[in-house]
């Protein structure tokens, strides 16, 4: 799933026509203490064990939604967290949903991203290759920076955060350039 995480950087992701270019992702896999799938299937993470190419959405801190792309590693649940994107389409709707004007603040963080795109728990388990989603692969020349993942309490040393080098749209703890 680290490969998927890298491939997603630079891809264009839209929900109902609203979205942009993915600039930051994180990989969560099997044998990964920080992954929701680590302790086996539960009600929340069931989607992670479902078909690859689905969207895994969960509620975080009782406040935010976080969106992941499901992928499998040897049949075990794995996913890629979408952390940030560069807004390119539907800026107006994003600004209304976020209550902000500043473009770099619209989607620079997993909770912000889902709010701007209108992703909620109702999207959990849906397939990404169907409406309202659109996922356009990145071009061949994507300059990626790898670094430690953000906000986790276990396995914090694994460099499974990937971001677009130099992008101002990545989330707060800026990756080392």
Sole binder of DNA in the list 16, 30, 34, 132 (CB under 7 A): 34
Least distance from C-beta 43 to DNA, angstroms? 4
Asked if 64 touches DNA (CB under 7 A), the answer is yes
Asked if 151 touches DNA (CB under 7 A), the answer is yes
37 vs 167, which CB is nearer to DNA? 37
How big is the CA angle at 111 (ends 31 and 93), to the nearest 5 degrees?
140
Q: Where are the alpha helices (DSSP H) in 99-168?
A: 103-106, 110-117
28 vs 162, which CB is nearer to DNA? 28
Q: Rounded CA gap, 68 and 79, in Å? A: 6
Burial of 28 (0-12, 13-18, 19+ CB in 10 A): buried
140 vs 157, which CB is nearer to DNA? 157
Number of H helices, E strands in the chain: 4, 8
For 170, the token pair is: 């990545």
Q: Rounded CA gap, 133 and 15, in Å? A: 5
Asked if 79 touches DNA (CB under 7 A), the answer is yes
Site for DNA in 100-129 (CB under 7 A): 105, 109-113, 121
Site for DNA in 128-147 (CB under 7 A): none
Binding site for DNA (CB under 7 A): 26, 28, 34-37, 39, 42-45, 48, 56, 58-64, 66, 68, 79, 81, 98, 105, 109-113, 121, 149-153, 171-172
């Amino acid at each position: 799933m680290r490969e998927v995480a890298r491939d997603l950087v630079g891809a264009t992701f839209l929900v109902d026509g609203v979205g942009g270019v993915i600039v930051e992702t994180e990989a969560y896999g099997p044998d990964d203490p920080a992954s929701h799938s680590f302790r086996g299937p539960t009600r929340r993470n069931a989607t992670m064990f479902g078909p690859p190419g689905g969207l895994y959405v969960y509620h975080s801190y009782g406040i935010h939604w976080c969106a992941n792309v499901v992928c499998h590693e040897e049949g075990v649940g794995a996913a890629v967290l979408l952390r940030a994107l560069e807004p390119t389409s539907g800026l107006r709707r994003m600004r209304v949903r976020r209550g902000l004007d500043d473009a770099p603040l619209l989607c620079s963080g997993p909770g912000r991203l889902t709010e701007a795109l209108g992703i909620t728990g109702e999207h959990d388990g849906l397939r990404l290759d169907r409406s309202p989603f659109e996922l356009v692969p990145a071009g061949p020349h994507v300059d990626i920076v790898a670094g430690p993942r953000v906000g986790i309490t276990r396995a914090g040393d694994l460099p499974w955060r990937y971001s677009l080098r130099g992008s101002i749209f990545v989330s707060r703890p800026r990756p080392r350039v």
